[in-house]
Structure 1
């Protein structure tokens, strides 16, 4: 317990650090930018006016002002330590109907530098702060800065012991994958740090790089940026708050960096308690949020009592009304419901948690060390409960129910459900494309529209057909072949080849259940439905993916058909690479391995250099994706690239046109079912009322945009075919 000590009043503001008054020693780069004004001592007349206005200082010599200082706008306030006050103009500041005259009123200021034209009213205790210009501070109880303030970064200051360091314990509730948070941390950083925990050299290098990014010297001031408004708040301690931030009614904001600019301003609202964190640009935090040991990336939201603890939330995400613990969430995560719970999970983006879903509850395993890993597009349905440890392929949709056994779902775009009556697990591969094309295609476009980042120097992949999902489809083809072969001929050798023959033979009727192995940690059956349909679907989508990338060389890269053919032939010896989702950025696995090697060998010594590598990957991603598409087409058609001619290219493009038409037709058809289903329409008096309430099918903006995209695709494809060299002759 701390001890209350007595010190002489004249020392107040000069005893912050052991070495005494730090006055002009600013150790943060942002602090240094503030120390540029010309100050002077108060005149005798100004001192007299200040005293007449019920102000107090044990030594007026320690107060410095600019030439445009107005003592008449400083009233009933106390000043201790070294105080610097900028211009005070005869104006008032107006923000959302809040109108306050500039100056300092009814406040206690200790060792601070106040910017130009601040309106500081009823700040009961403000110690060791720098404020920008045009700042409003109203009715705040406590604004302190400790000598070893770190502003949310996981670093130590001089003479601090290791137990003072702040770690964020991601992905595993027992703290086995901790990372050190730092200002500027991206989801990719958090991901690479939580992986490869056995590589002690790599882990130590990341720690050293982080520590080297910050000064170990204490004495950094808290900082309030320009045009910031803070009102009706209790505790604002050890903070850096960017320009144009708006903070009102918070209970506690402690050891936090809040990024904000005029075009991407951050707001924090009533009843929030936010401790040991970093908040990105353009964020919104409202109504009773509790966030502790966290990073909230740019343009994300925490609302309505959400709890974010020991977690990283990626860009363009929303969490409200629920609890998230020990989780690493990639960009574009959605979780909105009060009874939704997420713990000890790695969720790789474009995800949506339904009400009642309890994903990652370690109460269903032997100890608090289990993990859930879900690739992008993870959609657990209402009241889904999963058991540790489990892994899910991209775009897994889980039907309501309790899943009592560990799962390893490797087939993407699957519907996963429990057949309770027959005690078996059901998997429908490719479900989204077979039954709900509207949702899966809209999902892809939705996240692109919601990406509000002002600087998109790190490419986040939102397309449902990308190197990661295509590689999963290839793996799924092998799985389906094996499952069919073993189910039909359980005692035959080389069941995979037999399964492939059966799947390709349209005359062979699959009239029996197809069972799949190594999916669930149980002895019960796992049934694979729609085996042939999904097998053919995945092969069709792989070919379509490749064709869209070939056509993209003409549209996005501006190449002629002949130049595209030439580029294809220059890549004739490529092989299909493995890719990994690094924080929403899809990267060849070999590049990730090289990054690790470069970090361990000190080729990359700072986070800035590491981030530059991410940007380099992003700049090269189109080429990598194109090369992967060509290799995928060669594999799926069993036709090497050096054997391709213009006729082959024309053929796959014609096929792609038909696939694009099919995609549009399925988008329209899957949405049309909602208008034709009598159980959906029965709540409306007639079709006219239904159109008023939910909008007419023909006016659906997404369907309309997809029709425009279809027409454009067909036109570009036909022009490309026409311009192929032998087609012109």
Structure 2
């Protein structure tokens, strides 16, 4: 039976904060008065103003509770019912227009309960608005319910006085069993979500994260909702317990409940038709349109949900788009793209710069009777059309999966690989370094695209978009080591870990890879531990990948050393050597929400939180900022250590000959990459099946443009010319 509570009519608009939750000396308006920062001086109505209001068919339970500014115009208030303390700012005989909808300033045909209004607002056909503070020049029209409860949390995972723990809202990311759940809060960054979800074995740290979140907010009851200056809300059904920043635009939404919608003049957030959003945090500059359903979620700034997308128990990183898809129990780092109405992403950690194609079923919970497990993909994860994957699976940076149904769990440790399921021969095929050998145009273009799209209003975390960075380079080192051992075993099947050491295996594999007399086309290289199956996993193009990997390490080191010399205006080779570490160490790195950090820095952060040296999320964010500022130098140290580990100079120091060699190799690699970018794109102009839909070359060029006019290719050619000049200048200045 529905419990219908009966109260006296005169109680409407009063006792918003129950007496048991009011501290001594405070009335029910004390928090409201703190929240209202409009600076408007309100006064009581004059007898004339009351007369006009009554004549215009307005009613109030107590006209003394209706306060107005000196610039109030009573003629602009019609057919309204007022309850409780209502305060109205300036009303002028003007109209406000937004997106071709023009409405007169004033309050019309609405029921208004205990609200504050700024100057020149439009309140029209709002059936029920209660306990809101509305900013200047806001336009609110045709809204059924717009109200706030005394225990509103605005999407934050906190409790108010008198509330029980079981009603706290958690976001169950990464795993359906809630074992990695996090508390959402306004201002939460992808790094925060990752740290909280990752280090679950540290109970003390988990408790500290909870304390940091609760510390950001108080438990007091009675906060009013906010609708910021110049907000436009129209044709919307229910808005309950929602905090809305300035300049937001909400039209045709079905239900918005327990949300913070951040918005400002420089990063406006918009919510469109048919959307239903519950228990969430929406950061600045987000777009949510056309039938979106989101429950228990956090959206990073400048992200989009469109066309029936469903985001449930998930964190979506900055500068991302999900369209027509379902995403459940996922933690997604910045720069993620997912489109088409048959894509799914369930229970996953996706570390950004990712693109989920149509038909991809990532860890569907139909795999077993149990809840979805763990699915982890490093940066640059691209599953092809109709790819089906199982939990648990894990992928190195920039893994591309060819179209197919992958029936078993996968662990792909080789970065930049193409993975394909060869059903005809019942085997898995992995081509390492595929992107650099065959599809460099797409790889390079996406780096530029991500940079262009990164319009976060505040870049607290430094997001790495370069495909060659400490995380991928460390994986390349591991991949080089693995390829050596796999090649050694393939060439001599008698070799195994039981008979020879890992070091010996690597030495033998390196010798084989460098032996020009060996025909690798006749060598079948089989890997183990890549798939949860006994069928063979075949590594193809191993020799080519091995040398691509090695030249990428050299290129990465040269680029960072060249940048270091230029940024610090180093004039001599000797000065460069003196400024570099005597014993460089290639540290392990972690991807913390898209920001790459050395593992020692992560440990410092976590220990500082546990010991109390860091006592708020803002201080955690300050740590991100500090490490972002240090990143260029940290990356240089890593690049130099990588070079020393790869080159192994006898002196254990950078020599002139070695420096000249790596600069020459880097220039050759840049030339090779630029040519590869061109040839990978030129295929689309040369392939018969690409051209057959056009009757002439001229028609094709009119539709897709001329290859020579491709702005990205031309940009790459310009970058090559600039890089060549930089290298030549350095060689000249250092007398190399």
Q: Is the 8 A contact 1:312 1:327 kept in 2?
A: yes
Taking structure 1 as the reference length, what is the TM-score of the superposition?
0.97
Q: Is the 8 A contact 1:348 1:375 kept in 2?
A: yes
Q: Is the 8 A contact 1:568 1:630 kept in 2?
A: no
Deviation (angstroms), 1:90: 1.5
Structure 2 alignment gaps of length 5 or more: none
Cα separation, 1, equivalents of 2:599 and 2:149: 43
State the match for 1:341 in structure 2.
344
Q: Superposition pairs for residues 7-26 of structure 1, below 5 Å?
A: 7-19=7-19, 22-26=27-31
Secondary structure of 2:144's counterpart equals strand
State the match for 1:643 in structure 2.
653
Specify which of 388, 391, 396 is matched with residue 394 of structure 2: 391
Give yes or no for the alignment of 1:458 onto 2:433.
no
State the match for 1:665 in structure 2.
675
Identify the range of structure 1 (385-394 vs 499-508) with the bigger mean alpha-carbon deviation.
499-508
Secondary structure of 1:401's counterpart equals coil
Secondary structure of 2:233's counterpart equals strand
Deviation digits for residues 81-115 of structure 1 (CA, Å, limit 9, x no counterpart): 11111111111111111111111000000010011
Deviation (angstroms), 1:568: 5.8
Cα separation, 1, equivalents of 2:663 and 2:232: 57
State the match for 1:402 in structure 2.
405
Secondary structure of 2:700's counterpart equals helix
State the match for 2:545 in structure 1.
534
Deviation (angstroms), 1:27: 6.7
Q: Superposition pairs for residues 310-329 of structure 1, below 5 Å?
A: 310-329=313-332
Secondary structure of 1:656's counterpart equals helix
Cα separation, 2, equivalents of 1:18 and 1:563: 74
Deviation (angstroms), 1:566: 2.7
State the match for 1:4 in structure 2.
4
State the match for 1:113 in structure 2.
116
Deviation digits for residues 535-554 of structure 1 (CA, Å, limit 9, x no counterpart): 01000000000000011113
Cα separation, 2, equivalents of 1:640 and 1:12: 85
Compared CA separation, residues 366 and 487, structure 1 to 2 (3 A): farther
Specify which of 677, 700, 703 is matched with residue 710 of structure 2: 700
Q: Superposition pairs for residues 115-130 of structure 1, below 5 Å?
A: 115-130=118-133
Cα separation, 2, equivalents of 1:281 and 1:455: 9
Specify which of 47, 52, 61 is matched with residue 58 of structure 1: 61
Deviation (angstroms), 1:17: 2.1
Compared CA separation, residues 92 and 640, structure 1 to 2 (3 A): farther
State the match for 1:92 in structure 2.
95
Deviation (angstroms), 1:14: 0.4
Q: Is the 8 A contact 1:27 1:215 kept in 2?
A: no
Secondary structure of 2:243's counterpart equals strand
Aligned length: 723
State the match for 2:471 in structure 1.
468
Cα separation, 2, equivalents of 1:617 and 1:540: 28
Deviation (angstroms), 1:318: 0.2
Deviation (angstroms), 1:360: 2.0
State the match for 1:45 in structure 2.
48
Deviation (angstroms), 1:495: 2.8
Deviation (angstroms), 1:565: 4.3
Compared CA separation, residues 707 and 631, structure 1 to 2 (3 A): same
Compared CA separation, residues 679 and 157, structure 1 to 2 (3 A): same
Deviation (angstroms), 1:164: 1.2
Deviation (angstroms), 1:645: 2.0
Cα separation, 1, equivalents of 2:406 and 2:445: 28
Specify which of 569, 578, 593 is matched with residue 583 of structure 1: 593
Q: Superposition pairs for residues 498-509 of structure 1, below 5 Å?
A: 498-509=508-519
Cα separation, 1, equivalents of 2:112 and 2:181: 38
Q: Is the 8 A contact 2:461 2:628 kept in 1?
A: yes
Segments of 4+ in structure 1 off by > 6 A?
A: none
State the match for 2:523 in structure 1.
512
Secondary structure of 2:186's counterpart equals coil
Secondary structure of 2:125's counterpart equals strand
Compared CA separation, residues 515 and 441, structure 1 to 2 (3 A): same
Deviation (angstroms), 1:646: 2.1
Specify which of 153, 156, 159 is matched with residue 156 of structure 1: 159
CA-atom RMSD in angstroms: 1.4
State the match for 2:229 in structure 1.
226
Taking structure 2 as the reference length, what is the TM-score of the superposition?
0.96
Deviation (angstroms), 1:508: 2.0
State the match for 2:272 in structure 1.
269
Deviation (angstroms), 1:647: 2.5
Cα separation, 1, equivalents of 2:232 and 2:574: 55
Deviation (angstroms), 1:389: 0.3
State the match for 1:525 in structure 2.
536
Cα separation, 2, equivalents of 1:273 and 1:546: 49
Cα separation, 2, equivalents of 1:384 and 1:562: 53
Deviation (angstroms), 1:37: 2.4
Cα separation, 2, equivalents of 1:256 and 1:562: 58
Q: Is the 8 A contact 2:483 2:542 kept in 1?
A: yes
Q: Is the 8 A contact 1:561 1:720 kept in 2?
A: no
Deviation digits for residues 274-316 of structure 1 (CA, Å, limit 9, x no counterpart): 1100111111110000011001110000000000000000000
Deviation (angstroms), 1:396: 0.4
Secondary structure of 1:446's counterpart equals helix
Secondary structure of 2:30's counterpart equals coil
Q: Superposition pairs for residues 674-713 of structure 1, below 5 Å?
A: 674-713=684-723
State the match for 1:617 in structure 2.
627
Compared CA separation, residues 495 and 97, structure 1 to 2 (3 A): same
Cα separation, 1, equivalents of 2:194 and 2:152: 26
Deviation (angstroms), 1:78: 0.4
Secondary structure of 2:525's counterpart equals coil
Cα separation, 1, equivalents of 2:274 and 2:215: 36
